[in-house]
């Protein structure tokens, strides 16, 4: 049972659980990181990653986008890492498992019951003789039993169907693991300091975002990002798809010029997750898309006048943390956008159409 209090919304109303869980994130992050730092499992996970090994992050759906973001964080700290879907690992192991270097797999599943994730862990341990790490928000589930070490964030579990605080909490936990493996105390401290910096944003920005969403009708949603932020943009895309049953896409920012920009129109909401490394190129693209008539939203740590002129809505984070420690804070606005647009459409984001909370396949297939 989660110990995180859930406020800011009425859980009996459509979307109430999802909104409560989104707004609880800073508190949840603080609790989860504190417990993780004190756990013996963190040290056990670190010990599996000997110098020269490659970390392999495995997931499905949201957990795969989490794997992408985690792998980027490890690589940034000069710890080699990749992300792969559990299904690719199962059906095409030769594309992933080779003799280039020793592999430390990390299998991600909120429930610990996702069929492909459990099967992937079992195959890695039994068929490939690799010691695996699980990260999950549930206790004593099949994934934990299949893996050598399990990092459990029980406080991050959710009642709603879509993953929100579980995504960001597991991301921060894996980033904390990266900082621990790399011995990077600056990164570790930046992660711990993030929750109190984000909390005021959740008091100030959401009502403005809701008004923006309520005043527009969109046929398409596009999320654009580069580098570290691409996995985050992918997750924002999925949250809008799940929570509002809308058509959403994700591209590396500059790839959008190479064909996809043909959909730019007032009914296309293009959201830019702007990076400091590629700022000038992304600003030029933002201005180009605005000139083509698209509706634009920007998520950035700092906004200048050029961004403000070219964006119909903008979220300025103003966080002290370096960019690589701000990933969790960037995904929140995609989560809220999806919920608010789902509510605008008369849907219940707590229980999206055609979805189940856990993907468990008959016979484990």
Complete DSSP assignment for 313-347 = EEEE---SS-GGG-HHHHHHHHHHHHHHHHHHTT-
Distance of CA 108 to the CA centre of its chain: 12
More confidently predicted of 207 and 358: 207
In angstroms, the CA 174 to CA 107 distance is 11
Q: In what order do the strands lie in the sheet with 220-225?
A: 248-252, 220-225, 268-273, 295-300, 313-316
Phi, psi of 28 (to 5 degrees): -65, -45
Beta bridge partners of 249: 222
Phi, psi of 298 (to 5 degrees): -125, 135
In angstroms, the CA 51 to CA 359 distance is 35
Positive or negative: CA dihedral 63, 34, 325, 205? positive
The topology under which CATH files domain 205-344 is: Rossmann fold (3.40.50)
- Summarize pLDDT for 108-121 with one digit per residue, the tens: 999 999 999 999 99
Beta bridge partners of 151: 135
Beta bridge partners of 225: 252
In angstroms, the CA 229 to CA 224 distance is 9
Give me the pLDDT at residue 8, please: 53
Instruction: For strands 248-252 and 220-225, give the pairing.
Output: parallel
In sequence order, what are the residues at sequence separation of 6 or more whose Cβ sits closer than 8 angstroms to the Cβ of residue 241? Answer: 221, 247, 248, 338
Instruction: With CA atoms as reference, report the closest residue to 83 among 305, 287, 299, 234.
Output: 234
Per-residue pLDDT, averaged over 17-34, amounts to: 97
Q: Which of 11-15, 35-39, 129-133, 186-190 has the lowest mean pLDDT?
A: 11-15
Q: Retrieve residue 212's tokens.
A: 């923006």
In angstroms, the CA 40 to CA 104 distance is 18
Q: Where in the chain is the domain with CATH 3.40.50.10490?
A: 16-194, 205-344
Cα 299 to Cα 158, 165, 232, 313, 318: the distances in Å are: 25, 19, 11, 9, 11
Q: How far does the chain reach from its first CA to its final CA, in angstroms?
A: 30
Check if CATH label 3.40.190.170 holds for domain 16-194: no
More confidently predicted of 62 and 4: 62
- Summarize pLDDT for 284-339 with one digit per residue, the tens: 999 999 999 999 999 999 999 999 999 999 999 999 999 999 999 999 999 999 99
Q: Does pLDDT of 350 surpass 80?
A: yes
Full-model pTM:
0.94
In angstroms, the CA 350 to CA 231 distance is 23
Q: Please, where are the H alpha helices in 109-257?
A: 115-122, 142-146, 165-182, 185-204, 206-214, 230-244
Per-residue pLDDT, averaged over 165-174, amounts to: 98
In angstroms, the CA 94 to CA 248 distance is 32
Give me the pLDDT at residue 359, please: 61
Per-residue pLDDT, averaged over 189-214, amounts to: 96
The CA-based dihedral angle spanning residues 167, 168, 174, 180, taken in that order and rounded to the nearest 10 degrees: -170
């Amino acid at each position: 049972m989660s110990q995180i209090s859930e406020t800011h919304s009425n859980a009996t109303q459509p979307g109430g659980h999802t909104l409560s869980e989104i707004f609880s994130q800073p508190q949840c992050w603080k609790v989860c990181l504190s417990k993780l730092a004190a756990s013996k499992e963190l040290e056990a996970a670190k010990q599996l990653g000997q110098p020269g090994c490659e970390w392999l992050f495995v997931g499905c759906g949201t957990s795969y986008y989490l794997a992408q973001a985690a792998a980027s964080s490890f690589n940034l700290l000069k710890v080699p890492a990749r992300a792969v879907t559990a299904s690719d690992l199962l059906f095409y192991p030769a594309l992933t498992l080779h003799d280039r270097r020793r592999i430390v797999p990390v299998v991600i599943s909120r429930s610990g019951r996702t069929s492909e994730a459990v099967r992937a862990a079992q195959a890695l341990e039994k068929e490939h003789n690799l010691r695996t790490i699980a990260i999950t928000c549930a206790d004593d589930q099949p994934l934990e039993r299949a893996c050598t070490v399990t990092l459990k964030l029980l406080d991050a579990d959710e009642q709603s169907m879509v993953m929100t605080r579980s995504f960001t909490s597991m991301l921060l936990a894996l980033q904390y693991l990266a900082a621990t493996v790399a011995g990077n105390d600056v990164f570790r401290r930046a992660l711990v300091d993030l929750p109190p910096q984000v909390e005021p944003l959740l008091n100030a920005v959401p009502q403005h975002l809701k008004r923006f969403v309520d005043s527009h009708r969109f046929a398409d949603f596009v999320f654009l990002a580069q580098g570290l932020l691409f996995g985050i943009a992918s997750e924002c895309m999925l949250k809008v798809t799940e929570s509002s049953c809308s058509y959403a896409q994700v591209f590396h920012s500059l790839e959008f010029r190479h064909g996809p920009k043909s959909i730019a129109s007032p009914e296309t909401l293009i959201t830019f997750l702007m990076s400091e490394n590629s700022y000038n190129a992304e600003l030029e693209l933002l201005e180009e898309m605005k000139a083509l008539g698209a509706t634009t939203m920007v998520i950035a740590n700092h906004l200048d006048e050029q961004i403000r002129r070219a964006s119909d809505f903008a979220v300025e984070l103003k966080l002290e943390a370096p960019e690589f420690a701000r990933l969790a804070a960037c995904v929140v606005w995609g989560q809220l956008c999806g919920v608010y647009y789902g509510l605008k459409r008369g849907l219940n984001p707590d229980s999206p159409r055609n979805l189940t909370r856990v993907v468990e396949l008959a016979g484990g297939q």
